[in-house]
Amino acid sequence: MENLIILGAGPAGLTAALYAARANLSPLVITGNSVGGQIATTDLVENFPGFPEPIGGAELAERMKQQAERFGARFEFDEAIEVDFRGHPFQIRTYGGEYQAKAVIVATGATPRRLNVPGEQEFWGRGVSVCATCDGFFFTDKEVVVVGGGDSAFQEGLFLTRYARRVTIIHRRDQFRAQPILQERARRNPKIGFITDTIVTAILGEGRVRAVRLRNVKTGEEREFPTDGVFIFIGYEPNTALFRGQLELDEAGYIRVNERLHTSVPGVFAAGEVHDRWFRQAITSAGFGAMAAMEAEKFLAELEHRGVPTAATPR
C-alpha cells in the first residue's frame, strides 16, 4: 500500500515528488518510458529559473529527480498499463507489478503530433522543435518555417519574429483555422510569409537543417525550400488513453480539473500538460506539480484524521 503514487516523471511529476517527499509521504513515482518527459529531449534549456547558464534538458531532469530522492521519493522505471479508480484504495497495474495507493497524481503529459517524415527524428532538438518559447533564441537572424494553421502555429510564428529574420507558415489547406485576429497580426507582420495547399514531405540537411521538401497537395508539384529550422505546431495528444472511463476528460481528451487540480475522482489529482492545454512550459508544469502534491497531502491528512493510517503515521 502506497500513500501516493505519481504517474509520470516530467517536470510536473518530478516537482510533485519533491513536494510530497518533503511532506514525509514517501511518494512512489512510476516514471513511464523516461525521466524528464519532453524536456529530456531538449538540447539546451535557457528559461528555467535558477540556471543563468544554459543547461541540458536531460541534466535538468536528472537534477530534479536527485533532489526529490534526497527527501525520500522513490522511482520505479516502469509504465502503468491499467488503473482502477472506481474504489479506494486505487489500483494500478504496471508491466512489473500491481500497486495500491491512497492518492494518485496523474502527470503523464502530452505528446506533440509529429509530421512523421524523413529527417524529422534525425534533427529533433537540432533544428526541429515544437516549442518557440524554448528554442526561438537559437534562430536569431535565421530563416525558419512553421508547420500548421491553427492558433498555436500563428502565436508561435509571431513569437519567432522576435528572433528570426524570416518566418514562413506552411499549411496543408488554403484556409487557416487560427483566430481572425491572429491571422490579421501575422499578415501585417513584414517578417511572416505563407505557403498554403502544401505539406512537408522531408526535412533535409547534413549536421543541421538546411531545407524542407514541399509538395503542393493540389498540383503535386515538389520543391525544396531553404530553411534553418522547422517548428511543428499541428496539435498535441494528451497521454490519457489509460484514464478513459476512469476520469472525466474534455472533448480533446485532457483531464478536467478544478482550480486546485482535483479530478472527477476524490484523491486523484492531475498536473502538467495532461490537463494544461495552453502554457506547456516546464516551469508551469513544475508549478502544477507542486500544487497537486500540496492538495494530495491535504487529502491524505484528512484520511488520517478519519483513522486511515499513512506511512508517516507513528505505529
For residue 311, tell me if it sits in a domain.
Answer: no
Interval 150-192: pLDDT, tens:
988 998 999 999 999 999 999 999 999 999 999 999 999 999 9
Instruction: Identify the three-state secondary structure at position 153.
Output: helix
For residue 128, tell me if it sits in a domain.
Answer: yes
For residue 205, tell me if it sits in a domain.
Answer: yes
* Residue 250 sits in the same domain as residue 207: no
134 is catalytic: yes
Residue where a domain stops, chosen among 213, 232, 251: 232
pLDDT of residue 234: 94
* Residue 228 sits in the same domain as residue 126: yes
Q: Which entry of 78, 134, 151, 276 is annotated as an active-site residue?
A: 134
For residue 313, tell me if it sits in a domain.
Answer: no
Three-state SS letters, 1-23? CEEEEEECCCHHHHHHHHHHHHC
For residue 315, tell me if it sits in a domain.
Answer: no
* Residue 160 sits in the same domain as residue 171: yes
Q: Any idea what the CATH number is for the domain that residue 151 is in?
A: 3.50.50.60
Residue where a domain stops, chosen among 174, 202, 232: 232
Query: Which range marks the domain in which residue 195 is found?
Result: 114-232
For residue 204, tell me if it sits in a domain.
Answer: yes
C-alpha–C-alpha distance, residues 296 and 315, integer Å: 22
Number of domains in the chain: 2
pLDDT of residue 310: 59
**Phi-psi label, residue 247: left if phi above 0, alpha if psi -120 to 50, beta otherwise:** beta
* Residue 98 sits in the same domain as residue 125: no
Of residues 56, 73, 54, 58, the one with CA closest to residue 15: 73
Interval 249-264: pLDDT, tens:
999 999 999 999 999 9
| C-alpha cell recorded at residue 253 | 481528451
Q: Is the dihedral of CA 176, 180, 184, 186 positive or negative?
A: negative
Q: Which entry of 78, 84, 131, 141 is annotated as an active-site residue?
A: 131
pLDDT of residue 280: 85
What is the signed CA dihedral for 54, 44, 126, 279, rounded to 10 degrees? -120
Q: Which entry of 43, 84, 135, 141 is annotated as an active-site residue?
A: 135
250 is catalytic: no
* Residue 72 sits in the same domain as residue 54: yes
Ranges in the chain, pLDDT < 50: 312-315
* Residue 52 sits in the same domain as residue 119: no
228 is catalytic: no
Q: Could you give the C-alpha distances from 39 to 66, 67, 113, in angstroms and in order?
A: 16, 17, 16
Residue where a domain stops, chosen among 202, 232, 262: 232
